[in-house]
Structure 1
Amino acid sequence: MTRSASQAAAAAAPAKASSASAPARSMRRQAVVRLGDLDLAPENLRHGEAPDDDIPQLADTIAAAGLLQFPTVRPGRRDEAAYMVLDGRRRLLALRLLRDGGLIDDDHSVEVFVETDRARQAAAVVLTNTAAPVHVADVIAAIGRMLRERLGVKVIARALGYGEVEIRRLAALSKLPAVALEALKAGKITLRQARLLARLKNKAQQVEMAQGVLDGHGLAEWRIQEQLGEGRITDRDPRCGLVTPALYAAEGGRTEADLFGEMPPVLLDPEALTRAWLKRAAEIAAPFEAEGLTVHLAPDDEGMELPEDLEQLFYAYGGLSDEATLVYHEARDRTQAAAEAVAATEPEAPDAARAGGLETFVRARIAQDQAGAGQRLATVLVMKPTLRTGVEVDCYGPVEAEVDPVRSRGDEAGETDVEKTESPGRAMARSAYAPPRARAPAPEVDGVSHVLHATRTDMATRGLIRALADAPEVALTALIARLFGAVAIWPSIGRTEAALAVTASIFNPTGGRIVEALDGAVRERLDERRRAWEASGLTIIAWVHAMELGDRLGPLAELTALSLDLREDRTSLVRKAARTEAAEIADLCDADIARWWTPDGAYLRPHSREQLLTMLEAMGAETEAPARMRKGDLVAWTEDQAKARTWAPACLSWRLALEDADEAPDEGGRR
């Protein structure tokens, strides 16, 4: 091809510059030229230099993945080639090396950027890269092609000028499905989100989530985080408060570092971690066992069976005299000081120094619990792992006197429940005061299986979650009430007696299912707030405190709503007290699950055919033809009818029926 023909072909070549950088290339066009029409411009800063040793490796990468970054050229002048390379000397040398090896010839097509403006030509000589920057998605795809051509990580790193660790990270991303890389290149997900997606082991799930992003649904990061967190043990495990990495490794423990350096290392051998913790805890327990105390080591969360004639020693608010209370406070202060001293001890400190601090802490804790129990004698210690001090200590002593369980708060029908103790033989005194209790709708249990009852209360919980999330002022009321019941009342109101699970535990959906319109919508809001916090660079406290008072009500409502847990797994496990709280909250929220959700297939399938037909009758839909349908078709029909009518079953509402709500309060102040 002659010089003029080559230039004509270049002029006719369509421009392929990306729209994102088009304004920066107003004086440049993209063209396809022959390799034989390219030569190095004399004004190139490295003109005349000999090829460096890495040119063959660069040639290998170009052969495997093509040119990732197009050379910048200018039109040739008199006695010059058709196009002279201003930026891309090494790429031209690598292409010529491939030509000399017979892999390509002078007619090989090379995409270039043609600079016609003299000022920009000068800039291209000084700035080594004036072409469009390569998108990281293209680099990832190219590295995948190089790896398939069996090029090593070191070779790729030297050829592209990346560190080996970075190449390994990009290689991991290259295993993402094509739809995920497409979403990355389109700007639908960030590189951080791509790394998060790459950690999923299930390829089908990767494709599903990436396609959802392209369809405009966004990436539900919390779903990935939840899966990644399942079964993972990191250095934030409580046992690591006493076990150093060296002790863990000495027990044969293996550690897997996060390739991307964004998540804590994973401890692969929990048994080795437990063995190491038990050895260290046994050393701490030895002096106390020598003094006649019985010490039990509990390295995990599983309950420990203790003799029935023992009860835990603890401080009962209002149960001591003023003098005894002062003694307890002094003992508590000494325990806190000892705990802070242990927590401040460097991991590199000698074992003797750390062991001495732990012994002081344990003795202070024993003194505190004995003072809190009116100087009763501790005879049994239970040591559990904790991250801050290495061990946490619970003290037990003989039961002084049998305490008859008192009757708990009665319901509106005059019924009473016997208060159940935390463990056999450990009866706990209850306050004689029985506060009023609001009325709640009676559960439907006749003819209802345990599975169906669990399904209904599960879905009703989700509905109230959505209602409470949209009513911040009600959420504030519910949260303050729950905190007051858990902290200010002694004995505190137990978990099963309350509607709100304010123990920093989130509502755990059955089978991991999220209902997008209900609890899923609330989770998405919190996910957006989490990202805003990460972008702020502040601590959580500082970030929240910087909000206006009114702005804090939103996250408070969402966090409080997701702590709701009113699920009942069996018809025989009706949580009466929690139901009364739920009824009050639902009334204050004006809760109506049908505003956001109508029965779907997952909810309807556990119902029998008769129950489905009853639903159709309740919503005013036809029942004669559906009665002849198969179960699967009946479920689909019921779902469509409920959606068309914006209808949800009454059993999913925590609100009282109208006739019950109109009843007057009884003599005890209960409605």
Structure 2
Amino acid sequence: MGLASGRRALMTRSTAVAVVATPFQVASTRSRPLVHLRDLDIAPENLRFGEPPDDDIPLLAETLFAAGQLQPLTVRPGRKKEAAHMALDGRRRLLALRLLVEQGRIDDSFLVDVFVETDPARQAAAVLLTNTAVPVHIADVITAIGRMLKGKLGVPTIAKALGYAELDVKRLAALSSLPDIALQALRLGRLNLRQARLLARLNDADEQAELARMTLEGHGFQDWRVTEKLDEGRVTARDARCALIGPERYTQAGGRTETDLFGELPPVLLDPSILTEVWTKRAREIALVHEAEGLTVHVTAGPAPDLPEDLEPAGYVYGGMLPAAEMADYRDKRDAFNAAAEAVTEVLTETTDAEPVDMAIDAMIRARLAMDQAGWGGRAATTVVLRPAARTGIEIQCFTPEEPEVEEEADDQDTEATSRVAPAPTYQPPSVETPEPETEGVNHALHAVRTDVATRGLIRALADDPGIAFTALIARLFGQVAIRTHGQRSEAALALTASAFKPAGGRVIDSLDGDVWRRIEDRRAAWEASGQTVIAWIHALAHGDKMALLAELTALTLDLREERTTLIRRAARAEAAELAELCGADIALHWTPDAEFLKSHSKPLLLKMLEEMDRADVRAALLKKSDLIPWVEENAAEKVWAPASLSWTTPPEADATATSETGAPDDDADQTPSDDGAGAFEVTPLGEEALGAAA
């Protein structure tokens, strides 16, 4: 036989197909019928054949009666004078069922779930191994425990019957209250055990069933929806106030704590007011030392304190902002502050006792004061605000009076002296002209509401224009990477940080950013249903879908909210003006002022809105604010109007007025009203009646 024939023989062997079924194929074809109890007996080859029932058989009988049969018996067909089916595995379960017959609780026609083994090899394995049957699914165990609880069996009894720890039984018992559709989703693998535990924490059974139904239908489990619901109004042991005081002080002050049954979530602190009180007391103890030295110290665990408007907060100092020597000194002091902060963190991980913690925090505060003084060019801080911090217990913010502008004489000596210490000039990009925000008669709360709603309006406009959103994203990347390389490093491959616009004092507006969030949720559901990784799923999208998704994600990172009229973010406003101009943003296309927005306005401002939309009416001034709000809302919706304060670009009317004031030609100049006032306004019949009544 030559080489060619040997190759043919080798090829013949390698392509042969096995015709003998594997053990796994045999197992998948086993018969699993329901047989009468009277047709069952214990096989002689069973390792415990002939042994008397042990003392736990009555307990097993109670478990079977309460929960039903969870695991089938393994049997073989009977021979000659044997019963029809002989149990190879499941002797104790069979004895427990017979005990129930003796007690009259079931009869011998009771149907028993069995596996029938006809293969001799598997019959032998069933005698030697106790786990030849399919393992019991955790959903079946949960259902069984629920039946046991309804059957008045206690947790210790159930734990002993199932061989579980009592804590595990308590946790599974909590899951037994889930709707049937949730357990069905768990059984089918659409819901994992962690998600089932998350679902069990919800108090609303209807909401549990709805989330389980969506999961069962293939839409994926919305973990975020449950966690947001659970986090509403909850204060946990991870709260920043806890780092300084520790759990002992909170408990000693009467604070109550609720632990998570499943041990997955941090304990919930049920008395947040006590937590604030204890933290404030501790922080005040630390502040007293620095107040005695002449500093003004504000301690707050809530809103920012009202500070004088002439105070300037400390900011991060970048290279080139100070002369080289001063910059080196600032960096040294910054390193000292960071080291002091790390020392505080280490102390707090070991103890919250006052003496070592106070010493470490005092050193950290002094290091911060020195660092900020160096960053201010030698100006000392006069005011300090202390807030809770999760890592260091206290967050420090320093303020100093604003430096007055001094007009220097432009002589040669001063110029020469200044040139020696002035930092190297840095490139200043051209600025974009933006309208001045309307702040007269506007309080901080209203200003925050206006900028909040205006932000959401631009979010909608940007989300609808993927090309401009792409430009905005690239500009953001360029600003972080090419201009300033500082930034937080993440666990992802790309060191780019982003967060969605969700301020604590804001609200999602359904037709603006709410519409964008719905798009994101639809895409999240599509990704979860695909079973792919995020990168693989996005890579497979059509180019148009990628661009639309990019626009939506970029738009949701937009943040132009201003909390106070004294904190105008001019650089951000300039960018907003450019983006709004490019994508033709018009908030009125999707939204007009609603009651929630209007209630932040005073009555004079509401009347001014009616004037701006040419719907002024003397009757409106006679209405209460609560009655005036629906009127303004209705007129704005009818006219499809939104106030100019929500626009990021200068209105065309303002441009025309500015042109007229500068002396440029005005086509309407010859239509200026005469001194007698004719044509200045139109007197309506209702107005004539009002004037007559006044006369």
Contact 1:461 1:565 (8 Å CA) reproduced: no
Shift in CA distance, 346/242, structure 1 to aligned 2, threshold 3 Å: closer
Q: What displacement does 1:386 show? A: 0.6
- What does 1:57-136 align with in structure 2 at a 5 Å threshold? 57-136=59-138
Q: Tell me how far apart the structure 1 counterparts of residues 56 and 522 of structure 2 sit (CA, whole Å).
A: 49
Matches of 2:63 and 2:327, distance apart in 1: 76
- Equivalences for 1:134-533 in 2 at 5 Å? 134-298=136-300, 300-307=301-308, 310-314=311-315, 320-345=322-347, 347-349=349-351, 351=353, 352-398=355-401, 401=404, 435-437=430-432, 460-461=457-458, 463-464=460-461, 466-467=463-464, 473-480=470-477, 505-506=501-502, 510=507, 518-523=516-521
* Counterparts of 2:229 and 2:374, CA distance in 1: 45
Counterpart residue type for residue 384 of structure 1: R
Q: 1:254 to 1:526 in 2, by over 3 A?
A: farther
Cα 1:584–1:45 shift into 2, 3 Å: farther
Secondary structure, aligned partner of 1:340: helix
Question: Contact (CA 8 Å) 1:476, 1:553: kept in 2 or not?
Answer: no
* Structure 2 Cα separation of the partners of residues 363 and 453 of structure 1: 39
TM-score w.r.t. structure 1 length?
0.66
1:563 maps to which of 541, 557, 563: 557
Q: Aligned with 1:180: secondary structure?
A: helix
Structure 2 CA distance for partners of 1:528 and 1:363, relative to 1, 3 Å: farther
Rate the CA distance shift 1:259–1:148 in 2: closer, same or farther, 3 A: same
TM-score (ref. length: structure 2) = 0.64
Deviations 1:112-160 (A, max 9, x none): 1111111111122222122222222222222222212222122212212
| Unaligned residue ranges in structure 1 (runs of 5+) | 1-20, 405-430, 441-449, 490-500, 537-551, 607-648, 661-665, 667-671
State the alpha-carbon separation in 2 of the partners of residues 293 and 479 from structure 1. Answer: 39
Contact 1:469 1:475 (8 Å CA) reproduced: no
Matched residue SS, 2:114: strand
Q: Which moved more, 1:257-266 or 1:103-112?
A: 257-266
SS in 1 for 2:105: coil
Q: How many residues align?
A: 532
Q: Return closer, same or farther for 1:473/1:123 CA change in 2, 3 Å cut-off.
A: farther
Amino acid at match of 1:130: T
- In 1: Cα distance, 2:573 partner to 2:370 partner: 41
Aligned mates of 2:382, 2:528 — CA distance in 1 = 47
Deviation digits for residues 462-495 of structure 1 (CA, Å, limit 9, x no counterpart): 5446447798843532423675999799xxxxxx
CA 1:95–1:438: 2 relative to 1, 3 Å = farther
Q: Secondary structure at the match of 2:191?
A: coil
- Which 5+ residue runs of structure 2 have no aligned equivalent? 1-22, 408-425, 436-446, 487-496, 535-545, 598-639, 654-658, 660-695
CA shift in 2, pair 1:458/1:369, >3 Å: closer
Distance in structure 2 (CA, Å) of the matches to 1:387 and 1:287: 22
Shift of 1:81: 2.4
Give the aligned residue type for 2:99.
L
User: Identity percentage over the alignment?
Assistant: 49
Letter paired with 1:305: D
Rounded Cα–Cα distance in structure 2 between residues aligned with 1:31 and 1:109 = 9
| Amino acid in the other structure paired with 1:396 | F
Specify whether residues 434 and 385 from structure 1 end up closer, same or farther in structure 2 by C-alpha distance, changes over 3 A only.
Answer: same
Structure whose alpha-carbon radius of gyration is higher: 2
1:103 positional shift:
0.5
> Is the contact made by 1:72 and 1:86 (CA closer than 8 Å) also made in structure 2?
yes
After superposition, what is the alpha-carbon deviation per residue over 1:521-563, rounded to whole angstroms, capped at 9, x for unaligned?
Answer: 3356568999999999xxxxxxxxxxxxxxx999987654321
Corresponding position of 1:416? none
Cα gap change, 1:467/1:333 in structure 2, threshold over 3 Å: closer, same or farther? same
Q: Using a 3 Å threshold, how does the CA distance of structure 1 residues 131 and 502 change in structure 2: closer, same or farther?
A: closer
The offset of 1:220, in angstroms, is 2.3
SS of residue matched to 1:345: helix
Paired residues of 1:27 and 1:117 also in contact (CA < 8 A): no
User: Separation in 2 of the partners of 1:276 and 1:507?
Assistant: 27
- Does the residue aligned with 1:395 lie in a helix, a strand or coil? strand
Please state whether the residue corresponding to 1:30 is helix, strand or coil: coil
Q: 1:595-647: CA deviations, max 9, x gaps?
A: xxx989x99x99xxxxxxxxxxxxxxxxxxxxxxxxxxxxxxxxxxxxxxxxx
Contact 1:234 1:265 in 2 (8 A): yes
User: What is the DSSP-based 3-state SS (H/G/I as helix, E as strand, rest coil) of the residue aligned with 1:244?
Assistant: helix
Checking the alignment, whether the CA contact within 8 Å between 2:577 and 2:648 is kept in structure 1 is yes
Residues 475-519 of structure 1: per-residue CA shift (max 9 Å, x gap): 532423675999799xxxxxxxxxxx9676447884586988732
Cα distance in structure 1, aligned partners of 2:428 and 2:48: 91
Deviations 1:268-325 (A, max 9, x none): 2212322332233233223323334333221x23121235565445566565444333
1:43 corresponds to: 45
